[in-house]
């Protein structure tokens, strides 16, 4: 069955149906990773977006029960060149198409994803709509809100506090091991692998909604605070930024991706929207102190204005080698630091995993 993708500038791509029946819209972005489609589909940072996967064959190792990064599909749609109908992997339980149908996600295949990606790279990210006819797509797109006008963090954050243990999500009433430092996670769009990595590093994660005020966070008597990744424009999150401001200096703070941007705003910095964002598993980042370059996994559409940090408590510590954007800061006066990329990977390289053990060590040192 034919299916159409229409961009807001009038560009049309004709393909074939994939996933559920119906229509959808969102901000069209691309990810250059060769693997990790299941993790990408369940990453809350993709909320409100239609994700192009540039690798031509998607779904060849199927869908398994272990690699979900949240409890639901987060993008509004998936755009691929070809979806594999016969996956081969010992962990596979269903095909990509079956997952999309099960979760009600409208997708499209059979289009020239290389041409579409080059178009986005040249023109910048844009709104798009997918429907069974071009006329229907035009109607949907005419009434679609701008991505930048929506507060996605409040849509994806947990509604209830919970703890994370060796088997995953646990009741908030579950007893803690006193030997493990307590990490409070402000959930702005959390991936499960962040919690897995912190548990493996020896701490006890406690996840709270993004709307939790500073005094309630401190009531948990945390040894450290994590500002999680998440979707959307950080400038729209004024209440969360005020919470971070109130927490500065109270406990060690570590921010990841959106958490980096929130920390920068909290100390007086600003952010801006990138032309087409950083989404993939091979972004080189240089540490300005050591000169070391690591290959990182990234997923964000906004970046920190480096000049806006001048005169603030923040020091830029890392830069992206592709475009020179800020990839990390430190605030020595507040024992706070953050990075713009994803050390938990899922998908991606493990170069940055030591950050988990380092922050747990900071929390443990505070208890001595």
Q: C-alpha 210: how far from its chain's center?
A: 15
> Is residue 264 among the annotated active site residues?
no
Torsion from C-alpha of 67, 46, 187, 310, nearest 10 degrees: 130
Contact 88, 59 (CB under 8 A): no
> Is residue 203 among the annotated active site residues?
no
Tokens of 336: 């706070």
CB-count burial class (<10 Å; 0-12, 13-18, 19+) for 88: exposed
> Is residue 97 among the annotated active site residues?
no
Cβ atoms within 10 Å, residue 144: 16
Task: Identify which of 1, 149, 140, 15 has the alpha carbon closest to the alpha carbon of residue 78.
Answer: 15
Choice among 81, 119, 283, 342 that is catalytic: 342
Choice among 188, 203, 257, 331 that is catalytic: 257
Tokens of 159: 């509604």
Contact 88, 9 (CB under 8 A): no
Choice among 27, 39, 69, 344 that is catalytic: 344
Handedness of CA 216, 218, 219, 220 (dihedral sign): positive
Catalytic residues: 257, 342, 344
């Amino acid at each position: 069955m034919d299916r159409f993708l229409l961009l807001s500038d009038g560009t049309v791509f004709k393909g074939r149906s994939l996933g559920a029946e119906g229509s959808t819209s969102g901000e069209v972005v691309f990810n250059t990773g060769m693997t990790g489609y299941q993790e990408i589909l369940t990453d809350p940072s993709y909320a409100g977006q239609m994700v192009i996967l540039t690798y031509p064959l998607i779904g060849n190792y199927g869908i398994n029960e272990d690699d979900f990064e949240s409890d639901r599909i987060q993008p509004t749609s998936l755009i691929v060149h070809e979806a594999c109908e016969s996956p081969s992997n010992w962990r596979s339980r269903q095909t990509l198409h079956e997952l999309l149908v099960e979760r009600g996600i409208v997708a499209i295949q059979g289009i020239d994803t290389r041409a579409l990606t080059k178009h986005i790279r040249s023109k910048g990210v844009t709104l798009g709509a997918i429907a069974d006819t071009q006329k229907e797509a035009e109607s949907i797109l005419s009434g679609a809100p701008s991505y930048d006008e929506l507060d996605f963090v409040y849509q994806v954050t947990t509604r209830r506090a919970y703890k994370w243990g060796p088997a995953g999500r646990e009741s908030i009433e579950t007893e803690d091991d006193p030997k493990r430092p307590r990490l409070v996670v402000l959930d702005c769009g959390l991936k499960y692998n962040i919690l897995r990595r912190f548990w493996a590093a020896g701490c006890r994660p406690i996840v709270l909604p993004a709307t939790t005020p500073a005094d309630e966070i401190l009531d948990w008597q945390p040894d450290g605070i994590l500002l999680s990744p998440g979707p959307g424009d950080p400038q729209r999150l004024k209440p969360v930024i005020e919470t971070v401001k109130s927490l500065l200096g109270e406990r060690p703070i570590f921010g990841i991706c959106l958490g980096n941007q929130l920390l920068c705003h909290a100390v007086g910095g600003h952010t801006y929207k990138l032309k087409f964002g950083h989404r993939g598993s091979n972004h080189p980042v240089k540490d300005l102190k050591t000169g070391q370059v690591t290959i990182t996994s990234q997923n964000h559409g906004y970046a920190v204005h480096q000049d806006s940090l001048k005169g603030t408590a923040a020091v830029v510590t890392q830069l992206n080698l592709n475009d020179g954007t800020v990839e990390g800061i430190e605030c020595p006066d507040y024992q706070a630091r953050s990075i713009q990329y994803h050390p938990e990977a899922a998908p991606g390289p493990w170069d940055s995993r030591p950050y988990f053990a380092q922050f747990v060590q900071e929390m443990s040192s505070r208890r001595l």
